[in-house]
Amino acid sequence: MLTPADRELALSRMEEACSRFYRDAISTGNHPFIEFTGVMQAYIKSCRRAHEAGIDFSDCNRHTGQQLPIESFELAYLAEKLDCIFDGRIEVRSEPATEALS
């Protein structure tokens, strides 16, 4: 669990890491690899919104069961990115899967 100050620092570091990744990804010339930057940016935006709402985004994951707040238009955006990267083999759902957690 992160404090509000720790979350703000984490967000700053996440944004810096994403910027570095993008610069390095561009140098590969591999478009699907570059698309991961969009996935990371969408995640960071959702984390920022969660933080502003007082939610500890570091606890939002499949293992804890706490969902990261995400808008429907962002799900569509993520679906587009993942479709480009994995050619439709990964499906984005608006609700979590009901199968058992592992």
Question: Is the distance from CB of 67 to CB of 96 less than 8 angstroms?
Answer: yes
Please tell me the distance from the alpha carbon of residue 26 to that of residue 13, in angstroms, as a whole number. Answer: 20
Domain range summary for the chain, segments of one domain joined by +? 4-86
At residue 69's C-alpha, the angle toward residues 65 and 74, to 5°, is: 120
Q: Name the residue among 73, 13, 67 with its Cα closest to residue 42.
A: 73
Please tell me the distance from the alpha carbon of residue 89 to that of residue 58, in angstroms, as a whole number. Answer: 27
Give tens-digit pLDDT for 49-88. 999 999 999 999 999 999 999 999 999 999 999 999 999 8
Residue 101 has a pLDDT of: 46
Give tens-digit pLDDT for 15-54. 999 999 999 999 999 999 999 999 999 999 999 999 999 9
